[in-house]
Amino acid sequence: GQRAAPPPEDDTGLAGLAGGLCFDFHLTIDHLFLVGTEEGKIHKCSKDFSGQYLATYEGHTMAVYTVRWNNYHPRMFISASADWTVKLWDHTQESCLMSFDLGQAVGDVAWAPYSSTAFAAITSDGIVHFYDLSVNRNERICYQKVVRKAKLTHIMFNTTEPIIFVGDDRGGVNCLKLSPNLRKFCVVTEEDGDVTREELEVRKMNEFLEMAVGPQKEHVVGVEAGA
């Protein structure tokens, strides 16, 4: 029988995602999702346009193990890679906004459920790294060696208690309690007026972005194909 012609090099079909390692659906735009790949690229995809992806983000040089949308800010997501970095992205921009070098392969990263600017990541040397960009935009504010002779594989925040769970490649699940100084979140006061805590968290991330990378868009526009 006849052989199928090879796909063109610039093919944007989802068939090119054979090396996908991770994905995450947007929290409010239900058709939108991200895929991290073995080669280091991140693809933005839509269930409404299943034949192609909407954008490709290039910044990582090795496999992307995790992609996570921010819990509060609808444009922001974060990624973790074997290239030793965690990168912060705005899905409407091609290049990453910030990159954090953790010195070892980064197996997983997770946003704190209570803050738009806090996240934790794990590295192959058994360390949990905690960042809060509203406190220090360049350096981790805490780190903890969790295991001596195992490789950390997954990290997860408890959604209601100040606890982090960390899994390792020997079947262990390690439970860490966050100290009070790591649990900073926005509280609505009378001075804030008629706003929600969630809106204050979006504002907090925007204030960080203004300092770190420049002026931010006031409103979030609808996501279109190719956006």
Q: What's the mean pLDDT in 25-29?
A: 95
CATH number at residue 52: 2.130.10.10
Q: With 50 as the cut, is the pLDDT of residue 206 above it? A: yes
Per-residue pLDDT tens over the stretch 36-58: 999 999 999 998 877 788 999 99
Total structural domains within the chain: 1
Per-residue pLDDT tens over the stretch 108-143: 999 999 999 999 999 999 999 999 999 998 899 999
Two structure tokens written together for 79? 């990624």
Does a structural domain hold residue 24?
yes
Cα gap 24→71, rounded to integer Å: 12
pLDDT of the residue at 133: 95
Cα gap 126→87, rounded to integer Å: 20
For residue 14, which amino acid is it?
L
Which regions of the chain does DSSP assign to beta strands (E)?
20-25, 32-37, 42-46, 53-57, 64-69, 76-81, 85-90, 98-101, 106-111, 118-123, 127-132, 142-145, 152-157, 163-168, 173-177
Does a structural domain hold residue 28?
yes
Q: What's the mean pLDDT in 24-47?
A: 95
Cα gap 55→42, rounded to integer Å: 8
Question: Of the candidates 138, 140, 155, which has an alpha carbon nearest to the alpha carbon of residue 66?
Answer: 155
pLDDT of the residue at 152: 92
Q: With 90 as the cut, is the pLDDT of residue 224 above it? A: no
- pTM for this prediction: 0.85
Per-residue pLDDT tens over the stretch 146-203: 988 888 999 999 999 999 999 999 999 999 999 887 877 777 777 777 889 899 999 9
Does a structural domain hold residue 54?
yes
Domain span at 30: 20-213
> Which residues have CB under 8 Å from 180's CB, separation 6+?
none
Does a structural domain hold residue 34?
yes
